[in-house]
Amino acid sequence: MARPIRVEFADAVYHVMARGNERKAIFHDDHDRTRFLATLQEMTEQFGVQVHGYCLMPNHYHLVLSTPRGNLSRAAGWLQTTYTIRFNRRHRRAGHLFQGRFKAQLVEAESYGRELIRYVHLNPVRPRHKSEPIAAERAAELDHYRWSSHRAYAGLEREPGWLSLDWLRMFGHRRKEAQAEYRRAMRQVFGQVLANPWEELKGGLVLGGADLWRAVQRKIGGQERGEEQRWMRRVGGVEVQRRIRELVATEVDDRVRVWARVQVGGERRVDVGREFGYRDGSGVTQMVKRLEASAARDRRLAMRMRDIRDVLS
């Protein structure tokens, strides 16, 4: 299946969403949710991405991001890869956690930011059928839901340092005034059918006005699906090696790091060996053989190595 086109530029705003593979859970408990948010914080620090809103659901997540560096694919790809490895290690599983790549819609914040934040935050109480109203009695349930940025926007808890509340300006000039207006705007939705902002999505890609849509069309030009084939060819070389280095950067076992770079990434053994203190490539070859033999007896080690292959496949 062709990968969706990513339109990336500095200071772009996106709604990002991903579901669990086969719609299965990506969070089994609060420990998993806490780990995902910690990984999200690492993403903001490593890639300079700003998080304006989020909501974690049992089998999917929503993020509202802006990218000052124009690096959405690297940042969100790293987030999913890193969380998958951590999730798999904890639950002693292997394989894909998410259903393909994340989805991302480009958003014109000034026109749609307020509506988008409400839509994302209402996920825990929104009915399955979008044509049905949100039950009025579920308002208190939303205020007690811990796994979204709703409580921070509403002034019910202090926001984490990595969450940007700049978008409160869409509800008022002063912080308390904005939080009060946000709470009012959220309350008025209950008992009503929630407007679906995606009905105004252009080309399956842009939630914004005609000017933004034309700018995006100019940027992607004639790329369409052919862009994905070109991306696949590029990613087959240096890009794969870079991604592997990022993937194993937190791996504590140097043997696994070396194995991943030479066996999965295809780097020259002599180059990697020098970096890790081997005199030549033959030392790396022998280490890799011993590691793979150990993996045949050590299930946890085998799962870690399989995770790396699966995430990059």
Give pLDDT tens digits for 46-85. Answer: 999 999 999 999 999 999 999 999 999 999 999 999 999 9
| The domain over range 12-220 is classified in CATH as 3.40.50.720 | no
- Amino acid identity, residue 129? H
Q: Evaluate if residue 1 carries a pLDDT over 50.
A: no
In a 13 Å sphere around the CA of 172, the CA atoms on its Cβ side amount to 14
pTM, two decimals, is: 0.72
Q: Who has greater pLDDT, 17 or 131?
A: 17
What are the C-alpha distances in Å from 264 to residues 31, 243, 269, 285, 290?
31, 11, 12, 14, 16
- Amino acid identity, residue 299? R
How does pLDDT run across 122-164, given as a tens digit for each residue? 999 999 887 899 999 999 999 999 999 999 999 999 999 999 9
| Residue 235's pLDDT band (cuts 50, 70, 90) | very low
Do strands 12-19 and 103-107 pair parallel, antiparallel, or not at all (unpaired)?
antiparallel
Q: Which long-range contacts (CB under 8 A, 24 or more apart) does 263-270 make?
A: 263/288, 264/308, 264/309, 264/312, 265/240, 265/241, 266/240, 266/241, 267/241
- Residue-range domain boundaries for the chain: 12-220, 226-312
The alpha-carbon radius of gyration of the chain (Å, integer) is 22
Burial of 185 (0-12, 13-18, 19+ CB in 10 A): middle
Instruction: Name, of 3-17, 96-110, 140-154, 224-238, the range with top average pLDDT.
Output: 140-154
Q: Who has greater pLDDT, 51 or 196?
A: 51
